[in-house]
Amino acid sequence: MIRWKYLRGALLSAALTIATPASAIAAVATTAPTLLDVDTRLAAIAWRLTTANAALCRDPQPVTGATLHAIDQYPASAIAPGSYAAPVLVELVLPDTPAARAGLQPDDGLIAVADRPVPAPAAAGDAAGRVTSATRDAARAMIAARPVAAPLPLTIRRNGTSRVITVTPVPGCRVEFEVLAGNLVGASSDGHVVQVGGRLFTMFDDDQIAVVVAHELGHAVLRHRARLEAAGVTWGLLSEFGRNARLFRQTETEADLMGAYLLRNAGWDPRIAVTFWREQGGKVDGGLFRSRTHPSSKARAEAIERAIATIPADAPMPYLPPLLEQRDAPLDGARGSTP
């Protein structure tokens, strides 16, 4: 777990090639996935998990199936002036989602949400490569603040013409997903934003990445960040020792188990999580997963297998496991006896 810090421009130096707005995408001949490729894969996995498990999330938000980006997420050198419809743009539209059905398209400029203008940067990131996701985040927040089930009128600009496209969103968990720049082979969550290391997408297929994403969504469903803070744990070096380590390990195990339930609710065979930790767990060790606060891959696989066995054969979709009741309980149940 780390504080949310996302510098998209850093992808320029990573194994991934950058995709810029306005379809100036994938012009580079390469076998490496583009940023749009990995963003699309993550968005599809996140869509499936967050919408299927909306009933398990205390904080829902309207979900459309489209993602946004903004020109100041990219260095000025990557953005041709005048090549985009507006500073905030639809990055991608997943098929068979509310956004697709309403006719939203990639590269549509987003001008307003329910008649409220979207704040816009004047220009792309500066020549020094400093970039920010603040504009994109502000636009996302405007959509997230809307009533979950209400029609969502989006004023967009396409081919020089403005129009209103009304999307009928569905409820989803109030969690955003990011591909994290750089070489991390892990994932983390601060409770609201889930970051997934870009390199995972070159190593694993979508089912395997779904295991990692479901684990992180499990942290959010169980409100681990807030509960760890309420328990007064310390992040950083001291997190690896004593009571801190024990509480982190507890949240990791809970997220593994919840992740299996979330996968199952979203239509995956939850046993892919058992297989993942058994066969791939050793690979997910170079980044955020390498810590004595995480159980061994073998122990994770076994614990998940036991949890899956507790799902009743006739469990409904979605299934709300007893573990869900933990989300409002203090993490440190034994606090009174261990000062």
Contact 60, 174 (CB under 8 A): yes
Contact string (CB under 5 A) for Zn ion, positions 215-254, x = contact: -------------------------------------x--
**Closer to Zn ion at the Cβ: 93 or 255?**
255
In the complex, minimum distance from the CB of residue 133 to Zn ion, in angstroms, rounded to a whole number: 22
**Closer to Zn ion at the Cβ: 176 or 252?**
252
Q: Taking Cα atoms as reference points, which of 207, 297, 314, 310 lies closest to residue 252?
A: 297
In the complex, minimum distance from the CB of residue 67 to Zn ion, in angstroms, rounded to a whole number: 23
In the complex, minimum distance from the CB of residue 290 to Zn ion, in angstroms, rounded to a whole number: 12
* 104-to-14, 99, 192, 208, 225 alpha-carbon distances in Å: 31, 5, 25, 29, 34
**Closer to Zn ion at the Cβ: 8 or 223?**
223
Contact 47, 92 (CB under 8 A): no
In the complex, minimum distance from the CB of residue 324 to Zn ion, in angstroms, rounded to a whole number: 17
For 232, phi then psi, to 5°, come to 75, 30
**Closer to Zn ion at the Cβ: 160 or 236?**
236
**Closer to Zn ion at the Cβ: 14 or 255?**
255
In the complex, minimum distance from the CB of residue 190 to Zn ion, in angstroms, rounded to a whole number: 11
What's the one-letter identity of residue 54? A
**Binding positions for Zn ion, 255-274, rule CB under 5 A:** 255
At residue 202, the 3 state secondary structure works out as helix
In the complex, minimum distance from the CB of residue 295 to Zn ion, in angstroms, rounded to a whole number: 10
DSSP secondary structure string for all residues of 203-222: H--HHHHHHHHHHHHHHHHT
**Closer to Zn ion at the Cβ: 140 or 294?**
294
Q: How many residues bind Zn ion (CB under 5 A)?
A: 2
Give the integer Cα–Cα distance in Å for 215 and 175. 13
Kindly report the number of other CB atoms within 10 A of residue 82's CB atom.
6
Contact set with Zn ion (CB under 5 A) = 252, 255
